Amino acid sequence: MEAQSLPAALALVAGGGAGLSPEKRAALGASLPLLQRDYRFERVWFWGCIQGLRGAYYIAEGLGPDRAAPRSRLYSLNCLDWSLLTPATKEMLAQAEQLKGRFQGDPSFEYSLAEINAEAAARLIEGGKEPVIKEEARLIATIEQIDRAVGIVPRGAFVKTPLGPVHENRHFEGLSLVEAQKLSSYFHFTEPVNLKNKTLLEKADLDPSTDFLDSLEHDIPQGSWSIQLEKGGTVVVLRSLLWLGLTFYHVPMTKQFGYVYFGTGEKNLDLPFML
């Protein structure tokens, strides 16, 4: 969610119990503008918080001119001092999927891969690498997984130019109340997968400038999203049941929207059996 409107945005998603203490909100209000200035980001989003056993990771994302380009990610343990995270790699993602249980809250903590996957540990040893995974690498991979799976935006909020870059749509005035309650009105804000598999006939009714992302209506398993009206029917809130703690909000007929994650960084693998 947009750093500039963080206090108001947090109030709109507070119905699920997510939130920050007044001290943390004040610290973010002071540090995020400095973060934007020092790293020369065009925009800064507060991504959320992953709660560990001994501490919490507060995450921010920095955006450049192309909103769909890979975002710079930073974490903080106190909402004041920020450290830049390296981009996620396929190796990080593969290793992180093997780790189970809670985060520790210590970025230097090391997981022993030999206790989790002996074959993968043997391959690392053969390659001259230690068979350990640092929690910082797990943090990078988990943020990437959550953004790919449940990072969403309303239809029409962003436009793709003929040359390729994606920009905020200045003409976007929000979804109507009826449209805002449909899963088809929201897109995954990441590289599309299902869109590439559609036939030319299916793409005929799509607007290439706005319909360049995958819609939520085809998410698997079906039923992995909860849509609710809150604040007296003035705010539409979507909650992910796959990554518990991800909350998206949109105020119909306005430009106000965003998502935030407050959770343990664990995927709900039991969801298919719960639906």
- What does the pLDDT read at residue 4? 82
- What does the pLDDT read at residue 214? 86
- What does the pLDDT read at residue 188? 92
Confidence band of 203 (pLDDT split at 50, 70, 90): low
Residues paired with 247 in a beta bridge: 239, 260
At residue 53, does pLDDT exceed 90? yes
- Residue 194 and residue 215: Cα distance in Å, rounded? 8
Q: For residues 241-269, give the mean pLDDT.
A: 94
At residue 208, does pLDDT exceed 80? no
In sequence order, which ranges of the chain are alpha helices (DSSP H)?
A: 6-12, 22-39, 90-96, 118-126, 135-150, 200-203, 271-274
- What does the pLDDT read at residue 50? 96
Does residue 49 or residue 273 have the better pLDDT?
A: 49
CB 75 within 8 A of CB 23: no
Please state the pTM of the whole predicted model.
0.89
Q: For residues 70-85, give the mean pLDDT.
A: 94
Give the Å distances, CA to CA, from 240 to 53, 62, 249.
23, 23, 12
Strands 158-160 and 132-134, bridge-based pairing: unpaired
Confidence band of 239 (pLDDT split at 50, 70, 90): very high
Does residue 103 or residue 125 have the better pLDDT?
A: 103
Lowest mean pLDDT among 151-160, 207-216, 243-252: 207-216
CB 85 within 8 A of CB 74: yes
Q: For residues 198-223, give the mean pLDDT.
A: 75
Residue 124 backbone zone (phi > 0: left; psi -120 to 50: alpha; other: beta):
alpha
Confidence band of 8 (pLDDT split at 50, 70, 90): confident
| Mean model confidence pLDDT for the chain | 87
The secondary element (H helix, E strand) that includes residue 48 is strand 43-51
Give the alpha-carbon dihedral of 9, 13, 18, 23, to 10 degrees. Answer: 20
- What does the pLDDT read at residue 195? 67
- What does the pLDDT read at residue 275? 67
The secondary element (H helix, E strand) that includes residue 225 is strand 225-230
- What does the pLDDT read at residue 31? 95
Strands 246-250 and 257-263, bridge-based pairing: antiparallel
- What does the pLDDT read at residue 235? 94
Q: Could you count the other beta carbons within 10 Å of the beta carbon of residue 200?
A: 6
Does residue 231 or residue 181 have the better pLDDT?
A: 181
